[in-house]
Each structure stands twice: as C-alpha cells, then as structure tokens.
C-alpha cells in the first residue's frame, strides 16, 4: 500500500467522479486546483456527458472515460469520488475494471466494503481525505 505522498507523486491522470460545472462546488475547486498542479483531470458525470468542464470532455462513467483515454495510451491513475458513501461500491468495481491505481474517497466519504474490495484487487485506497488538502500539505 503506497502512502498518500507516493500516490500523488506517481499519478498523472485523475478521474473526478461527480464533478460539477459549478465553480462554487468543492468538486470543481479540487479539479481546478489539480489541473493547476499539472495533473490531467477527467470529468465523470452522466448529467454533463459530452460537455466540457475545465477544458476536458465529460464522460458518463469510468469505463467510457478509460476507453477514450486508452486510444492515446493513457490510464486513469486515481478515481477521486465526490459521491455519497453508499454510492461507492459500484465505483470501486468500476475502478477495478479499468485498472485504476487508486480509489480515493473525498472528505466525509467512507465505505469499508468498497475499500476492502478495491484493496483485494490491488488498488490503493484513501478514505475521508481531500486530494487538494493533501497535495497542498505535501507541497508546503
């Protein structure tokens, strides 16, 4: 199991599941910050499928995003979840299916069953942590 610092250092592409197009939403602020730090963000939200958020195409689900990126040889390193805790198990299964490196649940999001499933499949798991806060702390 890699540390948060190792995960952030090793990762380049982050799928933001539940990304909103509203600048006042936490998901938007985190995604914008990550872009500014050099990460490629991949928006995943069926409500905005086919639109662009922060200059990136929005996909309905992780599989569609992974398939689109595969044509350029890019893989999703982190699946960053802005969804309710009870919505995480199917996202864990999707993260496993696309061979993501890490399942990341944002602040106040925890699902032990999903975490156990992802870990058993070899993914790193982070629960109840904000990517932006963690990155800022490590960069300080």
| Pairing status of strand 13-17 against strand 78-81 | parallel
Classify each residue of 67-88 as buried b or exposed e, where b means 16 or more C-beta atoms within 10 Å of its C-beta.
eebeeeeeebbbbbbbbebeeb
Q: Which helix (H) or strand (E) element contains residue 125?
A: strand 124-126
Domain extents for the chain?
4-139
Q: What value does the mean pLDDT take over residues 19-47?
A: 98
Q: What's the mean pLDDT when you consider all of the chain?
A: 97
The mean per-residue pLDDT over the stretch 95-117 comes to 98
Phi and psi, residue 67, nearest 5° = -65, -45
Q: What is the pLDDT of residue 63?
A: 98
Q: What per-residue confidence (pLDDT) applies to 6?
A: 97
Report pLDDT for 140: 80
Residue 34 has pLDDT above 90, yes or no: yes
User: Per-residue pLDDT for 111 more than 90?
Assistant: yes
pLDDT for 137 beyond 90: yes
Of 3.40.50.720, 3.40.50.2300, 3.40.50.10860, 1.20.59.20, the CATH number of 4-139 is 3.40.50.720
CA distance 37 to 46: 26
Rounded to 5°, the CA angle 58-101-119 comes to: 120
43-97 pLDDT tens trace: 999 999 999 999 999 999 999 999 999 999 999 999 999 999 999 999 999 999 9
pLDDT-derived band at 1 (thresholds 50, 70, 90) equals confident
Looking at the chain, how many residues does it have?
140
Judge whether residue 9 has pLDDT over 90: yes
Those residues whose C-beta lies under 8 Å from the C-beta of residue 119, and which sit 6 or more positions away, are 1, 125
DSSP string, 62-81: HHHHHHHHHTTT----EEEE
């Amino acid at each position: 199991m890699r540390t948060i610092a190792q995960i952030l250092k090793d990762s380049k592409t982050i799928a933001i599941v539940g990304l909103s197009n509203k600048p006042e939403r936490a998901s938007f602020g985190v995604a914008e910050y990550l872009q500014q730090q050099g990460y490629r963000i991949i928006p995943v939200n069926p409500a905005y499928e086919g639109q662009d958020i922060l200059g990136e195409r929005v996909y309905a689900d992780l599989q569609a995003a992974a398939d689109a990126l595969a044509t350029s040889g890019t893989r999703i390193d982190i699946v960053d979840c802005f969804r309710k805790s009870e919505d995480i198990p199917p996202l864990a299964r999707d993260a496993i299916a696309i061979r993501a490196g890490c399942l990341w649940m944002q602040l106040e999001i925890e699902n032990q069953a999903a975490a156990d499933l992802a870990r058993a499949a070899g993914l790193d798991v982070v629960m109840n942590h904000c990517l932006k806060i963690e990155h800022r702390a490590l960069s300080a």
